[in-house]
């Protein structure tokens, strides 16, 4: 309890009271200063990374100009570099991974919160969360030695012979069935980001007040109607945040994608064709670049572009969340 202010004997009535120092006030000051220092350190660290990447990539931007962003040529022999193929591969694999992962993550969260028996919820939930602890290089090796052969022998030939024969959409599923490629990389990414999105959805679904769902059930709604009309509207902001978290993870993934994407510097109209991403190019070629070379500058410029892409995704998610909050 804070000690009350007192006036000394004989002091005039208009004199200001003397307040004794509160024991907790010094601790609050120290704690506030430490929090401000931590926040400032994060901003300085973030700014340092951005500045370092930009300064390192500046020679490449000066040499190739703005066309560096959409140029598809990458030739270390002639020292001509472009980021078009890598940017295309990064965006396509991340978007495909989200399209593949979100429905499955929603199904997992829906099962754990509404359909699963109580004795099974904890083991299944723990198993889903353990997927997030698997290192990315393990996912890459698993994808290369198991998923890629299955894709090349069974999945891709069947899809090429069926969907690949359709007009328009068939162009996305044509070509030789190598097993590796953009679609395989997106599939591995989807498995990697699945636990993040599913765990977020499960946690927010459990935060819905039971009275809301009980009222809907009392009106005769089915389980799906309760989910669609009550749970999803109540938790849509957090669900979008979880999806954006998975998208951010997919954009920057390196080793798993490097194993299975094929690492070819060309843009293929088929999702089964090989390609690369910004992270995979940097991982493969950074060790072969010399200090001060134009190739190293191009790789740092790619890193800066990846940072900008991640920032755009974060900014878009924040804007979307704010618009939904106002609605």
What CATH number has the domain bearing residue 197?
1.10.3720.10
Query: Does a structural domain hold residue 19?
Result: no
Q: Kindly compute the dihedral angle of the four CA atoms of residues 85, 91, 97, 100, in this order, to the nearest 10 degrees.
A: -110
pLDDT value of residue 2: 46
Q: Is residue 56 part of a domain?
A: no
Residue 127 lies inside a defined structural domain of this protein: yes
Q: Assess if residue 322 is contained within a domain.
A: yes
Structure confidence at residue 305 (pLDDT): 93
Q: Give residue 302's pLDDT.
A: 93
Q: Within a domain: residue 156?
A: yes
Element (H, E) at 245: helix 232-252
Whether 29 is in a domain gets the answer no
Domain span at residue 230?
63-326
pLDDT value at position 18?
Answer: 52
For the chain, give percent helix, strand, coil, nearest 5: 70, 0, 25
Closest-CA residue to 299 (of 314, 313, 285):
285
Q: Give the pLDDT score at 192.
A: 93
Residue 141 within any structural domain of the chain:
yes
- Give the chain's radius of gyration (CA, Å): 27
Specify the pLDDT at position 100.
95
* Cα 169-246-38 angle, rounded to 5 deg: 150
The whole-model pTM stands at 0.84
Q: Please tell me the total count of domains within the chain.
A: 1
Does residue 70 belong to any structural domain of this protein?
A: yes
**CA pseudo-torsion sign 204, 193, 273, 176:** negative
| Average pLDDT per consecutive 10 residues, the chain (327 residues; last block may be shorter) | 50 53 72 90 90 91 90 88 92 94 93 88 86 89 94 92 86 88 94 91 88 88 88 86 85 89 88 91 85 89 91 76 59
């Amino acid at each position: 309890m804070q000690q009350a202010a007192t006036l000394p004997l004989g002091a005039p009535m208009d004199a200001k009271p003397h307040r004794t120092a509160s024991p907790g006030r010094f601790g609050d000051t120290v704690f506030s200063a430490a929090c401000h220092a931590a926040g400032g350190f994060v901003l300085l660290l973030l700014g340092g990374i951005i500045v370092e990447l930009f300064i390192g990539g500046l020679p490449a931007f000066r040499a190739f100009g703005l066309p560096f962003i959409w140029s598809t040529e990458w030739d270390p022999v002639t020292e001509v570099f472009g980021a078009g193929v890598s940017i295309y591969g990064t965006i396509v694999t991340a978007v495909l991974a989200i399209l593949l992962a979100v429905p499955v993550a929603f199904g997992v969260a829906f099962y754990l919160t509404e359909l699963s028996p109580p004795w099974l919820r904890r083991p299944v939930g723990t198993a889903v969360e353990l997927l997030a602890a698997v290192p990315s290089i393990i996912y890459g090796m698993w994808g290369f030695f198991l998923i890629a052969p299955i894709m090349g022998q069974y999945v891709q030939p069947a899809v090429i012979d069926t969907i690949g024969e359709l007009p328009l959409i068939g162009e996305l599923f044509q070509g030789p069935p190598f097993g590796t490629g953009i679609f395989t990389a997106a599939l591995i990414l989807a498995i990697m980001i699945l636990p993040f999105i599913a765990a977020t959805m499960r946690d927010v679904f459990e935060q819905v007040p039971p009275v809301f769902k009980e009222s809907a059930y009392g009106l005769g709604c089915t389980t799906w109607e309760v989910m669609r009309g009550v749970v999803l509207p109540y938790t849509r902001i957090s669900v979008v945040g979880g999806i954006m978290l998975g998208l951010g993870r997919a954009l920057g993934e390196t080793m798993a994608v490097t194993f299975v994407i094929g690492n070819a510097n060309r843009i293929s109209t088929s999702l089964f064709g090989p390609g690369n991403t910004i992270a995979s190019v940097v991982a493969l070629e950074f060790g072969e670049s010399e200090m001060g070379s134009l190739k190293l500058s191009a790789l740092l410029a790619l890193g800066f572009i990846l940072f900008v892409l991640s920032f755009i995704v974060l900014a878009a998610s924040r804007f979307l969340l704010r618009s939904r909050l106002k609605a």
